Structure 1
Amino acid sequence: MSIWQRLGEIICSIPGTCTLIDHIVDAVRATFGTASERRHASFSISMIALAAKMAKADGVVTGDEIRAFEQLFEIPDNERKNVARLFNLAKQDIGGFDAYARRIRGLFDDGDPIFEDIVDGLFHIAKADGMVHEDELAFLARVGTEFGMTEAAFQRIADRHIVPEEGDPYAILGIDRSASNDDVKKHYRRIVAQTHPDKLIARGVPAEFIAIATAKLAALNGAYDRIRQERAFA
């Protein structure tokens, strides 16, 4: 039985009204035998629930936001109903988003690049209706705080999503403007390598979630090209 099929069984067993995080933790422990499976399952369910709360942060969940959420997960067709059920339950859940953010943080070491991956995914949902609303940005900043991210690290992610072609390309890449051409090249190659789907999977991101790498790479490539043009180096 695939991990999504077992996740589907957990979701089907969730009561109509409950604090989801408590039910989920117990069910994952009882259902998945290995630490790797539990990590994958806990991440996937927590991320789905957090995405639902992100979509509702501005008070309205739009069709564009639902579609953006679906782009982040390659969910088997026969499990879409179960994922939709969890998404809808999370929107109504009395538990705060901070419980889900802390659950995800507890799965990984402090400073793990996966926290940036998650916030990237949430920004993808937030901007799906054409803009990142003030309440959504505040929500994302608080999630970043729960993940232990610095203000500079969060701003770097925000710059990649909020009109990246007009943002500071050095901030988007996360490198100082005074860096040499060689240092810029080395830094760019390093962060692009970290964003490769194989790297994401290796650090614990489920294979279904790697769609976020495409948009992130596009923003990084755009920023690097602007720096190259500014400095006129090959």
Structure 2
Amino acid sequence: MLWPVTVAGVLLGSAVAGVPGGILGGVLGHALDRHWGLRRWSEVPAQLGRWLGLRPDFERVLFLCLGRMAKAHGRVTAEHLQLARELMQQYRLDEPQRLAAMADFNRGKLPATSVERQLRRLCRQQQGRNAELLDSCWRMGLVHGRPSAATRQLLERWAAIAGLGKAEQQRMQQRHQRRRSGSAAPVATGGGLQQAAAVLGVEQNAEPAQIKRAYRRLLSRHHPDKLMAAGASEDELAAAGEQVHRIQQAYEKLKRYRGFR
């Protein structure tokens, strides 16, 4: 195992201040390696991009957007905060990650925070998660029932950035409104790993490339925009929306299990 920042700290410190500088540089570098989870040089560019904001983390952008969405309601309520906590649990964030997510949520409420710039970068770099992010934003926007004019304006602008059509937005709105009213049971979040694999039609230990192909193929088959163009009814569109949500949840579960992006 090679700790890249540790090595860089030793070399830089030695060059500047000899042996004492090398020791100090190594200690500081090792602390950064452990903080960022770096174990090899190949991981440095991605971490540097995240640190500079050039490669934003999904969870960071998600909670920035959720904070902005909650603020668009007029004021942030206990219901907004409770949903934020539920989403932290859904993504299995540990305590340091929860604190970071709440800090991002609070930054998202500030007008000076460049939420949409981060959103654009994320949507370009992780296109497969665009619908997942917007779905959580719709959920936040509907915490108190019908979205306000400011909330809807944000959702429509962000959907355009994410490349989501009106049918997909309508599906998200209908699903979360039904969940709030209790007229339909909440959508299953994918169950265990075997169930997630069954949803995608792959083996639990399939190669990442095979899992990605299955995910994209199923998304294309059930996408509401495609079905709307084919003349599907409202009930068929709603059912397709539910299936897309199951597919996305199953894909995220397998992706976390296999450890790929």
Query: What is the TM-score normalised by the length of structure 2?
Result: 0.50
* CA 1:187–1:120: 2 relative to 1, 3 Å: closer
Paired position in structure 2 for 1:84:
102
* CA 1:140–1:178: 2 relative to 1, 3 Å: closer
Measured on the aligned residues, the alpha-carbon RMSD in Å equals: 4.2
Paired position in structure 2 for 1:29:
48
Matched letter for residue 106 of structure 2? N
Deviations 1:34-84 (A, max 9, x none): xxxx97x61111111111111111221111101101111223235433332
Matched letter for residue 251 of structure 2? K
Take 2:49 and 2:125, find their aligned partners in 1: how far apart are those partners? 17
- The 5 Å alignment of 1:180-195 reads 191=244, 193-195=246-248
Take 1:27 and 1:123, find their aligned partners in 2: how far apart are those partners? 29
- The 5 Å alignment of 1:164-179 reads 174=224, 175=227
Matched letter for residue 123 of structure 1? W
Paired position in structure 1 for 2:211:
none
Take 1:60 and 1:146, find their aligned partners in 2: how far apart are those partners? 25
Q: Report which structure shows greater RCO (CA 8 Å, sep ≥6).
A: 1
Determine if contact 1:55/1:61 at 8 Å carries over to the other structure.
Answer: yes
Matched letter for residue 118 of structure 2? Y
Determine if contact 2:50/2:57 at 8 Å carries over to the other structure.
Answer: no
The offset of 1:141, in angstroms, is: 1.0
Q: 1:200 aligns with which of 231, 243, 252?
A: 252
- Unpaired runs of 5+ residues, structure 2, are 1-31, 37-44, 185-222
1:152 partnered with 2:167: yes
* CA 1:162–1:31: 2 relative to 1, 3 Å: closer
- The percentage of counterpart residues that share the same residue type is 18
Take 1:187 and 1:82, find their aligned partners in 2: how far apart are those partners? 35
1:162 partnered with 2:181: no
Corresponding residue pairs, total: 167
Q: 1:94 aligns with which of 109, 112, 121?
A: 112
Matched letter for residue 149 of structure 2? E
Determine if contact 1:62/1:129 at 8 Å carries over to the other structure.
Answer: no
When Rg is computed on C-alpha atoms for both structures, the one with the higher figure is: 2
